[in-house]
Amino acid sequence: MVNVVPGTIELGDGITAIDTDHLRPLFDASHLILENGRAAFVDTGANSSVPLLLAALEQKDIDVADVDYVFLTHVHLDHAGGAGLLMQALPNASAVLHPRGAPHMIDPTKLVRGAKAVYGEEKFTREYGNIVPIPEDRVIVVDDEQEINFAGRKVHFLFTEGHARHHYVLHDPQSSGVFTGDSFGLSYRELDTAKGEFIYPTTTPIHFDPPEAHKAIDRIMNLQPAQLFLTHYSRVRDLQRLAVDMHRRIDDFVDLARRHAGDAERTTNMHKSLNEYFAGELDAHGYQGSAGEMRAIVEIDVMLNTMGLEYWLDHP
């Protein structure tokens, strides 16, 4: 990977990872795709990320009028919270969404209410601000396996549940890559070691579906990609090993949840067990950081995974 300007990584094949600077550096990426003088974004980060995305266009001498698409893998706000604001700056762009996600970007009321229930009013306002609706006439709703011709570059969409029912992945044959959103888990660069990338699933406070999560991984791998572009965080390439790790860790999360299902202090115990699980897995992976550094990286995911696993226990 080669850094061109701070916050961007050039990945080849016309693809640039842009650090959206949401929550912390190297947490959340938007990917910019350039093809024949036209541009598209995959995921956007939050409202605070929009100036960084526009700056990346300017750095590449791409006019905002030359952006054709904003591909939103799903509508969770770390992926799509800034989409409406960004679209206001892109006069010719269409937002491309799963049919279950599109209504929530056209009218974000329910999306915002759900996010506030997870994060609380104060934290939601600090991290996400005002979610700007996207006009319905600027939204394209895609079907499973639909193809879009982006400036001569054919990309297509595969629906992948497990993490969210409104999720798709974007297959880009030109790069032999797939933009996976959260359907292939999270892999933070700070956790890379001599053994390679470390990856793990991400559940959500609603909709976690372990069998569908396994199917999503298989569906992605059946494309025989050479590389995956994760929103958290960008490119991974040791895919056969990572797929095995993802399948195993989905099962590990399920086993952990079942182990605590009847606990009186279920949330506290599950949270503790997930922290212990990450500590053990990262130690086996050769992670050299301190326990505090590890916690700082994975704590938000421990919290969200605890919520997701508890929701799954309560809604079988």
Q: What is the pLDDT of residue 304?
A: 94
Question: What is the DSSP secondary-structure string of 184-216?
Answer: T-B--GGG-BTTB---B----SS---HHHHHHH
**Both structure tokens of 93:** 């762009």
Could you count the other beta carbons within 10 Å of the beta carbon of residue 62? 17
Least Cα distance to 163 among 94, 242, 219, 91 occurs for 219
The residue type found at 127 is E
Q: What is the mean pLDDT of residues 180-191?
A: 98
Domain boundaries, the chain: 2-238
Give the pTM. Answer: 0.96
Helical H runs in the chain?
50-59, 77-80, 83-89, 102-106, 109-119, 121-128, 210-221, 239-259, 266-284, 291-314
Least Cα distance to 56 among 9, 1, 2 occurs for 9
pLDDT at 24 over 60: yes
Q: What is the pLDDT of residue 5?
A: 52
Dump pLDDT digits (tens) for 98-144: 999 999 999 999 999 988 988 889 999 999 999 999 999 999 999 99
- What confidence category does residue 52 fall into, taking pLDDT thresholds of 50, 70 and 90? very high
Average pLDDT, the chain: 96
Q: What is the pLDDT of residue 206?
A: 85
Q: What is the CATH number of domain 2-238?
A: 3.60.15.10
Q: What is the pLDDT of residue 117?
A: 87
Q: What is the mean pLDDT of residues 257-268?
A: 98
What percent of the chain is predicted at pLDDT more than 70?
98
Query: 201 vs 84, 206, 298, CA distance in Å?
Result: 28, 14, 12
The residue type found at 275 is N
Q: What is the pLDDT of residue 1?
A: 42
- What confidence category does residue 6 fall into, taking pLDDT thresholds of 50, 70 and 90? low
Q: What is the pLDDT of residue 2?
A: 41
pLDDT at 254 over 60: yes
Q: What is the mean pLDDT of residues 259-266?
A: 98
pLDDT at 42 over 60: yes
pLDDT at 3 over 80: no
What percent of the chain is predicted at pLDDT more than 90?
94
Q: What is the pLDDT of residue 220?
A: 98
Is residue 74 within 8 A of residue 164, CB to CB? The reply is yes
